[in-house]
Amino acid sequence: MKPTLFRLFPAVVLAPATGMSISLTPAHAQEHEGEIEGVVRDAETGEPLAGSFVSVVGTGTAAVTHGDGTFHLSGIEDGNYEIHADRLGYRGATIEVTVEDESAVVVIELVASPIALQGMVVTATISERDAAEALRPVSVMAGDELQLQMQGTIAATLASMPGLAVTSMGPTVSQPVVRGLSGDRVLLLEDGTRVVDASNSGTDHTNALDPASARRIEVVRGPGALLYGGNALGGVINVIRDEIPSAVPHHMTGSATLQSQTVTGSVGGGAATTFALSEHIPVRVEAMARTGGDLKTPVGTLLNTDGDMWSGGAGSSYVAAWGHMGASFRGYLNQYGIPGGFVGGHEEGVRIEMERATSKFRTRITRPVGAFRNLRFDAFHSWYEHREIEPPDILGTLYTQQAASGDILGQHAGWGPFAAGAVGARVSWEDFGYGGSLYTPDTRRLRAAAYLLEEIDLGSTRIEWGLRYDWTRADPVHEDRDSDIGEIRDRSFHSVSGSLGVLYNPGSGLTLGASAVRAFRSPDIDELYSEGPHLAAYAFEIGNPSLEAEIGRGLDVYIRYESDRLRGEVTGFYNDIRGYVYGEDTDRLSRVLLPIYQFQGNDAVFSGFEASADADMGGGVALEAVVASVTGSLKDTDEPLPLVPPLNGHAALKYERPKWFIRGEAEMAARQDRIGEFETVTDGYTVLNLSAGTRVTLGGRLNVLTLSLDNATNTEYRNHLSRVKEIMPEAGRGLSITYRVVF
C-alpha cells in the first residue's frame, strides 16, 4: 500500500485504505502520552485483526495486536514516523504518521490477499526499507511461508527460496548453498551477528543454529554485503529474533510453536515472549527443543540420522529517550548421527555432539551525535565445541573455537551529495583448537575492517557505493618449516572491497537495478593448515599454507515488478573468483589409506539466473513459481566444479482466504550431468507437496494450524548435493503438523 500521511488528532482518524473516518473517545485518545495507539482491521469487513505485527520503521519499536485489533507503540517522541503492519492472509501496509503534543491514534486497514508482499528488510541496507527498494537481490521468509517451510535446519527451511540449495547427510545435517557457494562464503547471522560453529570444516557439520524461534529470515544473494564482511562471496542469511529488545512492550507479546513430522518421528516445540519488567526494562526469554528419529525413505530407513536439539536464551535492555543498552545470552546443544555405509564412511556411522554459548552486548543511540543520526555499538563472545564420536565410544575428532568481536556503526542522513550513509569498523579475535585424529595446529586469527557505504538519491534513480578494507592474520601456535603439508607459518591477508549499485524506478511498480562488486575472502584455517582424515568427504584433507586470498568480481542485473496483484523478479548474475579454493586429488594415499586431497586455488566462474513470480488470479486463487540455475567451472579448463546444484524450482497453486488456505506444489529439479571429479550423475525429479491451514482468533490470540503432506506420491528421488545419495534417496511420504499461537 502506498504510504499515506496522517496528522493525527484525538478524536478522528482517517483509515488509509478507504478514506473513511471513525470516532474514538477522547479518553481513549488521551490515555497514554508518548505513544502511537490504534487498531488494525479488515478493510472489507471492518473485523479487528488479532496477531498483526505493527512496527515503527527504523526504530525497533513494535507491537502485536490484541483480540480487538488494538496496539500500543510506546516511547514515541514528537516527529514523523512510518508505521508498517503485517498480518497472515493480508497484504502489508505502510503509513506515515505525525506525532505532536499528544498520543497519535490510527486505524490501519489491511486488504486480504493470497500473495504476501515481502515487506521491510534490514539486511545489507543502510536503513530499514521495503524489499522492492533494496539495491541487491533479497528474499524474505516470514509468516505463513516460514511456518509452512519450517524444518530442523536453517538450510532445509530456506531450500525453496530462489538461488538456494541444500547439501545434506540426512534430516539433521545440512548447510545452505547460495548460487553454488557454501561454507564461509555464505555468511550466517543472528540479528546481524555472525554465527560461530565448525560448519566451514565439512559437510557433516551442521550449522549451530535453530530456525524455530525466528520472526523472519532475510537472504541477500550475491557478494557485496560490505556491512558484514568481505568473505560473503555467495550471500548473507540473517535470522531475525530481536534477542535484545529495543523497546518496552505495552503488554506481553510472543509466540509458541509445536511441530511434528512422521517421516522422522520428530516432535519439537518452543516459545518466546517479551514483557516489561519496568517502564524502562523489557525482557525477552525463549526455549526450544526437538527430538527425532531416523529418516524414512521410499526404499528403507536411513539409519543413524536421529538427533536431539535444545536451545534457549534470554535478553534484556534499558530503554530511554536516547536509545537503549542491553545484552543477551544463548545456549545451544545438538546431538545427531552421521549415517554409515557410504564410500569412506564409518560402517556403523558416527555420533556428533555440538555445544555453543553466546553472549551479546548492544548499545544504540537513536538521537543525533555530531554528524550521525544514530550510533550502534556491539560486542560479542562465543564458545563452541564439536565432538565426533566413533563406535564404541572413541573421540575421533575434536573442534573447539572461541571468538570475540566488537563493532561500531554510525548512520547519517544528508552529507553533502549523499542522502544517507553508514560508516563502521569491526575487530575480532578467534581461537581454534583441534584434537582426536586431527593434526591441524591450534591457531589464533585476528581480523580488522573498516567500511563506508553511501547513497545518492536522484528521485527515480538511487545510487549506492561502498568501500571496505579487511585485514586478517592467521597465527598457528606451533610453526613448522618442515611440515608434510608445507611450511606452517603466520599468514596475513588484506584487501579493499567495493560495490556500486544503481536502482531505477520509472513508476507503475517497475524497478530496474544493477550492481557490480569486488569482494575479498581470506582462506579459512582448515584450508591453510588442516591435516587429518575427514569422514564425510572420504578424504585425508591437508591444507596449503601458501594459499592466497580469493578475489571475487560479481555483477547482478535484475528487474522487479510489484503491484497489488503481481510480484515478480528476474536476476542474472556473473561471479568471477580469482584463486577459488577447493580440494584437489593428489593421487596419493594417507597413512590410513584414504585418498589425499590438498587445498588449491584456481580461478573459477559461477554464473546463472533466478526468477520468481507470485500472481493473484482473483477470487483468492494465486499462482507461485520459482526457478534458478547456476553453472560453476574452473576458468582455465572449463572443468565443472563439484557440488553445484542443477536447474531447479517449484510451481504452486494456492487458494487463500483470511481464515484458511490450501496449496499444491510441484518441486522440480533437472538432471545434473555436468559433474565434478568423483561425482555421479543425478536424475531429475518432480515431487508433489500438499498443504492446508487455518487461522482463527481464540481468546483474543491468533492461532495458526498447518498440515503438510510432503512427497505425496512417495517418489524416489535424490538430491544432487546429498553426500549419502548413493545409499538412500530423499525422504518419502510424510505428514507434518505445525501449530502456532501469537500473543
CA distance 431 to 532: 19
- H or E segment at 146? helix 143-149
- H or E segment at 312? strand 307-320
| Three-class secondary structure of residue 184 per DSSP | helix
CA dihedral 630, 634, 639, 640 (to 10 degrees): -30
User: β-strand 164-168 against 648-657: which pairing, if any?
Assistant: unpaired
- H or E segment at 653? strand 648-657
User: β-strand 79-86 against 93-99: which pairing, if any?
Assistant: antiparallel
User: β-strand 595-618 against 539-542: which pairing, if any?
Assistant: parallel
Query: Selecting from 2.60.40.1120, 3.40.630.10, 1.10.357.10, 3.40.640.10, what CATH number does the domain 5-112 have?
Result: 2.60.40.1120
CA distance 194 to 186: 11
> Cβ(204)–Cβ(178) under 8 Å?
no
| Three-class secondary structure of residue 201 per DSSP | helix
Residues of the chain with pLDDT under 70: 1-34, 101-104, 224, 230, 342-346, 534-538, 592
Measuring CA to CA, which residue among 133, 83, 129, 131 is closest to residue 110? 83
Residue 451: C-alpha distances to residues 43, 448, 518 (Å): 45, 10, 14
Q: What are phi and psi of 133, to 5 degrees?
A: -100, 5
What is the reported pLDDT for 57? 87
Q: What is the DSSP letter of 466?
A: E
Q: Where in the chain is the domain with CATH 2.60.40.1120?
A: 5-112
CA distance 186 to 317: 30
- Which runs of E-coded beta strand occur in 508-593? 510-521, 531-534, 539-542, 550-562, 566-589
Handedness of CA 582, 168, 344, 535 (dihedral sign): positive
CA distance 356 to 402: 10
Measuring CA to CA, which residue among 160, 291, 143, 122 is closest to residue 214? 143
Q: What are phi and psi of 525, to 5 degrees?
A: -60, -40
| Three-class secondary structure of residue 154 per DSSP | helix
Q: What are phi and psi of 248, to 5 degrees?
A: -90, 120
Which residue is associated with the grid cell 546443544? 333
Fold of 133-742: Maltoporin; Chain A (2.40.170)
CA distance 688 to 708: 11
C-alpha cell at 70: 488494538
What is the reported pLDDT for 223? 79
User: β-strand 186-190 against 235-240: which pairing, if any?
Assistant: parallel
C-alpha cell at 699: 481468546
Measuring CA to CA, which residue among 85, 93, 43 is closest to residue 65? 85
Q: What is the CA radius of gyration of the chain?
A: 25
What is the reported pLDDT for 26? 35
C-alpha cell at 123: 539486511
CA distance 337 to 280: 45
> Cβ(230)–Cβ(450) under 8 Å?
no
Which residue is associated with the grid cell 586431497? 597
The count of other CB atoms within 10 Å of the CB of residue 347 is 7
> Cβ(667)–Cβ(709) under 8 Å?
no
CA distance 271 to 254: 7
CA dihedral 41, 45, 46, 47 (to 10 degrees): -60
- Non-local (6+) Cβ contacts of 373 within 8 A are 411, 412, 413
What is the reported pLDDT for 30? 41
CA distance 462 to 504: 6
C-alpha cell at 574: 556473473
DSSP string, 606-636: EEEEEEEEEEEEETTEEEEEEEEEEEEEETT
User: β-strand 104-112 against 36-42: which pairing, if any?
Assistant: parallel
- 75 pairs with which residues across the strands? none
- 384 pairs with which residues across the strands? 356, 401
- Non-local (6+) Cβ contacts of 441 within 8 A are 434, 476, 477, 478, 480, 488, 529
CA distance 644 to 182: 10
DSSP string, 236-289: EEEEE--SS--S--SS-EEEEEEEEETTTTEEEEEEEEEEESSSS-EEEEEEEE
CA distance 91 to 566: 12
- H or E segment at 526? helix 525-529
By CB atoms closer than 10 A (0-12, 13-18, 19+), residue 100 is exposed
Handedness of CA 174, 692, 698, 52 (dihedral sign): positive
| Three-class secondary structure of residue 168 per DSSP | strand
Q: Where in the chain is the domain with CATH 2.40.170.20?
A: 133-742
> Cβ(542)–Cβ(597) under 8 Å?
yes
CA distance 525 to 445: 8
Measuring CA to CA, which residue among 130, 117, 125 is closest to residue 501? 125
Q: Where are the alpha helices (DSSP H) in 548-623?
A: none
Separation of CA 29 from chain center: 39
Tell me the whole-structure pTM to 2 decimals: 0.92
CA dihedral 122, 126, 130, 135 (to 10 degrees): -110
| Three-class secondary structure of residue 531 per DSSP | strand
What is the reported pLDDT for 1? 39
Q: What are phi and psi of 157, to 5 degrees?
A: -65, -35
- 236 pairs with which residues across the strands? 187, 220
Exposure string for 255-284, b = 16+ CB within 10 A, e = fewer: bbbebbbebbebebbbbbebbbeeeebbbb
What is the reported pLDDT for 413? 87
> Cβ(147)–Cβ(598) under 8 Å?
no
